[in-house]
Structure 1
Amino acid sequence: MAASQLPSRAELAKWDQEDPLNWTRDEFEIPTIKACGGDGDGEAIYFCGNSLGLLNKRARQHLMEELDVWSTRTVTGHFQHPHNRPWKHVDAPLTPHLANLVGAQESEVAHTSTLTSNMHNLFTSFYKPTKERWKIVIEKGSFPSDWYAVHSHPKLHDAVLSPQQVDEAIIPLSPREGEDTIRTEDILRVLEENKDTIAIVWLPLIQYYTGQLFDIASISPKAKTIGALLGLDLAHGIGNVECKLNEWNVDFAVWCTYKYLNAGPAAIGGFYIRSGLDDHGRRLAGWWGNDAATRFQMSPEFSPTPGAKGYQHSCTPVLSSIPLLATLELIDKVGFDNMLQKSKKLTGTLEALLKSSRYYRPATSPKSGVVEDETVGFKIITPDAPFRGTQLSLSFLPENKGVMPAVFSRLIKKGLVGDERQPNVIRLSPVVLYNKFEEIGRAVKILEEALREEEEGQRLDKEVDYDMASKE
């Protein structure tokens, strides 16, 4: 976007007035600046939905309804429910919506447990290493929980694998030197180089730190060609970008629901298992995976529910599941395609205004990613559209000078809520359902104010250091 095309604050406000989705903001409870730890009055600019989504007003209503049912119906709420949500089937209104969002059949989706627990569940069933094919491909910069979980599984197969194989089981993917994101061509090259030994390729749909959207449509055929299974972490993808698990021929996937789906802190997650994927008898069974028609007969024989729901273990927690319904119904009403259109405009506008800032430091070359300017500023490490969702990750400069924590603290004080990721990144994510275009303009202004204060502070520190040195 050329400088002459950058929208003014008045134009951004006009975009909000004309936005056909502007009514959805009123569905959410917007936090105040003071409540978020800032100074000043009014609503905070909440650009942290990629970490924890805001409270949907109907989710509050649903929770209060469930507390009333607990209070009045007690145990009978499992079977008789005044709002037609019996607890024994609390996932029933959720899974059709979830299946649509991830591009799957309903029978391939289960709403249960939490992301890392679901990872362990699926890896136990589908990671079947042999002496010839035992390796797992994962990005080196993956979310720590994924990294820890994946590393734990080869050790469970020491009866099959030698100590050397256990040590060499993980193939880490890294960006090229001087770059921030991983090129698809490099992933394909690694798969080809290790084609006879890879058992599972495990990737995020969106990388949590950089915000990179991986090109799964290009990676999946290669994984299948070499005979490997493909698994995805959709934590930052579901409700944010288009997911096409069936079309991409993904084998299994996991997700959480507290980010773009606004289900609340540590809310129940879910998983996908491709129809026809054979676990060869390695399923971890639990009574909630037993056929729902016979589950309460308490039979000693396990009769699994067909599809993904047969991999569930314990009964579904009601109070950490039911808030999800509000956002899923809202998305269905809005239309996810309409959300994607607004998402591209919101994030594109944020990107354009950030790049117009005097503190923006573009890379010296498109390939190297090296920034030579050592003055206070930032670079954007998230790829350009279409290889991203709503998140833009800003890396602050100079590196190793404490710029990021200082700037982040100032942003919070001024009412802009993003989140910090060590060592140098602040993630900003305007969310379609409750953020406005006008907030984009104010957010960039707040960021520039914070950087100007940091710049001035560093200049004064240098003057003090110079004066002290001259006196010595």
Structure 2
Amino acid sequence: MGTRESVYNKEHAKQYDANDSFRSYRDEFYLQSGVIYMDGNSLGLMSKRAEENVHELMESWKAYGIKGWTTGKYPWFFISEKLGEMCAPLIGAEKNEVIIAGSTTSNIHQAVATFYKPEGRRTKILADELTFPSDIYALQSQIKLKGYNPDEHLVRVKSRDGKLILEEDIIAAMTDEIALILLPTVLYRSGQLLDIKRLTAEAHARGICIGFDACHSIGAIPHYFSEWNVDFAIWCNYKYLNGGPGSVAGLYVNKKHFGIHPGLAGWYSSKKDKQFDMAHSLDVEESAGAFQMGTPHVLSLAPIIGSLEMFAEAGIENIRQKSLKLTRYMMDLIEQELTELGFSIGNPNEDDRRGGHVCLEHDEAIRICKALVDKGVIPDFRPPNIIRLAPIAFYTSFEEVWETVEILKEIVTEKQYEKYGMERNVVS
């Protein structure tokens, strides 16, 4: 993929596809005719297995009624734990360290309510200025609930260039005033992958509890949270994991914390065999299950089953290698065909520092995104000037990557974007 001839050639793209071991998985997804979907880092496409699993869980309700809690292929009472076990290999966790429950934000609240224990000089939470807003909102709320001022007690590591966060700057901010750290595994705009292992070791060396928001990495990048001794992690399941809009989220808690009382206890925090004793004293489950609060959203959990089956078949390491090949191919095409048209790449170039999407920058990004959609390419826009493009291992072809770059070139060369306004859509 080094020369113009080998990269910028549709026939070579077709050849890459012919040799792709993942090509059969395209048939597993509902792909729209005439549409190139490059937004799987925001919402993954619907799989046929997901559809089947929804019908299967609906049928269990029809067939069993209340007996469905303990009867059928996927008894509802244990479904969050079962999915946690299936998800654990994606993050390098033991099966009882993962629970599929709640939402991303409710799980942040749960984790912070549990592990943020301000005492003495250690009263502050460390985050970064480029993280997703929901994380900041939740952290500010939790700080207020402890009686502190978020303006003073939420420390946000500065970016030197507005794109990336240097690990050295994060480590320098790990002072003796920090009680808890919450960072993204991958920055949602630039796609930078942080050195999770290093940051965890540095935090623990200073006696600080550390957790990660893995929304923009799970399903695209293998992690080893247990081996790295990460304290906790949260994520959504509707991006690379294709769990559907509003899909139930995930929570990892290192087993060293088992047995502690969850900060936000609920009906499902109980040991399973004690839950229906109806006691008013909580007998805390000794697994990640202790950190779920309410009854599992059974029908919303259903699509995740088929998705995790595919991940088990394909293997997260293989998925990562396919993802890296796709993004590298896209970056090579961009470098050779678009840089003279005002485009630049904002994500790190190195494989070990790059997530699953390409961060493409252009001053006219918002109008270019609108033009792309009208031409059948689905990207997403992130202010101020970012076009995020995510070729997905399971269902994106190399030919589609080639075609996307061709369309981008045409939009800018012919100034087709000029007919669109600068206003942002409600959902972008």
Q: TM-score, normalising length from structure 1?
A: 0.85
1:70 CA displacement: 2.1
Q: Secondary structure at the match of 2:362?
A: strand
1:455 CA displacement: 7.2
CA distance in 2, matches of 1:256, 1:48: 15
Counterpart residue number, 1:284? 264
Q: Secondary structure at the match of 1:97?
A: helix
Correspondent of 2:331 among 351, 371, 374: 351
Counterpart residue number, 1:99? 88
Summarize deviations over 1:284-343 as a string: whole Å, max 9, x none: 221112111122232333112112111211111111101101111011111222212211
- Residue 269 (str. 1) matches residue 253 (str. 2): no
- Residue 325 (str. 1) matches residue 305 (str. 2): yes
Counterpart residue number, 2:381? 420
Q: Is the 8 A contact 2:51 2:303 kept in 1?
A: yes
CA distance in 2, matches of 1:279, 1:214: 30
Question: In 2 relative to 1, CA 92–202 (structure 1 residues): closer, same or farther, beyond 3 Å?
Answer: closer
Counterpart residue number, 2:423? none
Counterpart residue number, 2:193? 213
Correspondent of 2:46 among 52, 55, 67: 55
Q: CA RMSD in A?
A: 1.8
CA distance in 2, matches of 1:50, 1:278: 32
Residue ranges of structure 1 left out of the alignment (5+ in a row): 32-41, 362-375, 398-402, 459-472
1:457 CA displacement: 4.4
Q: Secondary structure at the match of 2:212?
A: strand
When structure 1 is superposed on structure 2, of 137-146 and 275-284 the one drifting more is 275-284
Q: Secondary structure at the match of 2:156?
A: strand
Counterpart residue number, 1:113? 102
1:5 CA displacement: 3.7
Q: Tell me which amino acid in the other structure corresponds to 1:360.
A: T
- Residue 360 (str. 1) matches residue 339 (str. 2): yes
CA distance in 1, matches of 2:151, 2:22: 51
Runs of 4+ in structure 1 displaced over 3 angstroms? Answer: 278-283, 455-458
When structure 1 is superposed on structure 2, of 256-265 and 302-311 the one drifting more is 302-311
Counterpart residue number, 2:13? 12
Give the aligned length: 417
Correspondent of 1:389 among 325, 332, 355: 355
1:73 CA displacement: 2.4
Q: Secondary structure at the match of 1:231?
A: strand
CA distance in 2, matches of 1:453, 1:120: 48
Summarize deviations over 1:227-252 as a string: whole Å, max 9, x none: 11111000011101111111222111
CA distance in 2, matches of 1:202, 1:382: 21
Counterpart residue number, 2:213? 233
Q: Secondary structure at the match of 1:320?
A: helix
Summarize deviations over 1:176-216 as a string: whole Å, max 9, x none: 1x45211222222222xxx2111112110011111110111
Question: In 2 relative to 1, CA 407–212 (structure 1 residues): closer, same or farther, beyond 3 Å?
Answer: same
Question: In 2 relative to 1, CA 200–456 (structure 1 residues): closer, same or farther, beyond 3 Å?
Answer: closer
Summarize deviations over 1:113-164 as a string: whole Å, max 9, x none: 0000000011111100123101111111211100111112221122xx5x5x
- Residue 175 (str. 1) matches residue 159 (str. 2): yes
1:68 CA displacement: 2.2
Q: Secondary structure at the match of 2:352?
A: coil
Counterpart residue number, 2:399? 438
CA distance in 1, matches of 2:79, 2:258: 27
- Residue 429 (str. 1) matches residue 390 (str. 2): yes
When structure 1 is superposed on structure 2, of 44-53 and 180-189 the one drifting more is 180-189
CA distance in 2, matches of 1:296, 1:456: 61
- Alignment identity in percent? 34
Q: Secondary structure at the match of 2:245?
A: coil
Q: Which has the larger radius of gyration?
A: 1
CA distance in 1, matches of 2:100, 2:260: 23
Correspondent of 1:454 among 415, 418, 422: 415
CA distance in 1, matches of 2:263, 2:370: 47
1:259 CA displacement: 0.4
Q: Is the 8 A contact 1:377 1:396 kept in 2?
A: yes
Matches within 5 A, 1:134-145: 134-145=123-134
Q: Secondary structure at the match of 1:128?
A: coil
Q: Tell me which amino acid in the other structure corresponds to 1:425.
A: I
Correspondent of 1:260 among 210, 235, 240: 240
Residue ranges of structure 2 left out of the alignment (5+ in a row): 420-428
Question: In 2 relative to 1, CA 270–457 (structure 1 residues): closer, same or farther, beyond 3 Å?
Answer: closer
Q: Secondary structure at the match of 2:279?
A: coil
When structure 1 is superposed on structure 2, of 146-155 and 317-326 the one drifting more is 146-155
Correspondent of 1:75 among 53, 66, 82: 66
Counterpart residue number, 1:122? 111
Q: Secondary structure at the match of 1:386?
A: helix
Q: TM-score, normalising length from structure 2?
A: 0.93
